[in-house]
Structure 1
Amino acid sequence: MKPKIKLIIVDYYGVSTKGSYKETSQWIAKKYHLPYKKVYDVVYHKYFSPAALGKITEKQSFEGPIREFGLRETWQELLAKHMSFQHENKPVTTLMKKLQKEGYQILILSKNTPPQFKAALKKIGTRKYFKNIINTFDLRLPKASKKTMRIVLKKFKVKPEETVYIDDQDFNLPEARKMGVKTIYYRSFRQMKKQLDKYLN
């Protein structure tokens, strides 16, 4: 008999919401005629990731790409453009609200700088529907780590095999998967729901 799923962990940017550093990097790449992968590696991995761990400031995380690529925007303008891509992913929100009513614990898990995360939560109104929200910045741990997952499992009193973790960044999933957590690499709502249904039924 397979274990009953008790906790569903849902990534924020890119799953719970539409709009992430992917869209911001695509916008920069298109406007400045740059290779997308190079832009994404610099914007997300080189600058945003350290900021999300508190190693550099949010301001520095936007100033870095501006300096490296010679962008004409100020860091405030680039941040505003980035935030403009943020919108609720309504099919995901609707499904998670339904599952929450059915008794599943839903956790919104994000890796973000506090000011930006607070602004996104307010803009989209996420706290109206979900009380369980963790920003890994507050843990001072990488999102893609066993330590982070152990903290989550302990907090919600669940075993790895009773947990599903959904993320649109495939590199966030392997450590959780090694622990026995069921993972879903989000590419579309339809694809995600099909995989989730298999785990829940």
Structure 2
Amino acid sequence: MTQNPQSLVQEYVQQGIEARTAFFQAGSESVIEVAKLMAVTLVRGGKILFCGNGGSAADAQHLAAEFVSRFEMERPSLPALALTTDSSVLTAVGNDYGFDQVFSKQVKALGREGDVCVGISTSGTSRNVLQALRMGREQGLTTVALLGREGAAIQEHCDYPLCVPAQRTAHIQEVHIVIGHLLCGLVDHFLFEAADQLQPYL
């Protein structure tokens, strides 16, 4: 029997609510901790690097733009880069070294000790994201991962894994962008509204 469109909509929405609720019941404190870490990094003159594939590449660009332009308040531009945007670098590294290294080469070239590298992977298994986080650790960056499912191999190679316990890729991506927006808003809060809360970290 064919499912009717209204039930498809309701099922999809309910699954999305469940995915968001499941993550934030366990992970809200981790999101706040990562936001404080990012704010401290920016205070110290560091930057945030984002990477991911497909829809996660779009999220990387989206979040970098929120930092560089603005999120919800007028404030100075904040240094962030999406490692998904330079087609010449991506194709040169992909051609000469393989697709697994398209982000790690950029982390090695652009990352500095104290920066933050954020890898986004709904599967938790993206090898180029894994390599970027490994390189970040070698370079002295703090590594954060937005993951899905069980986080798989990547979870073992980052300092702050934020793993959405869902199976449907679309729902994982939806929660990832909620996490990303919260990070943007919380960083702004800690930098421009509640700077005293960063003192224990400085």
TM-score, with structure 2 as normaliser: 0.34
Q: What is the TM-score with the length of structure 1 in the denominator? A: 0.34
| Larger RCO (CA under 8 A, 6+ residues apart) | 1
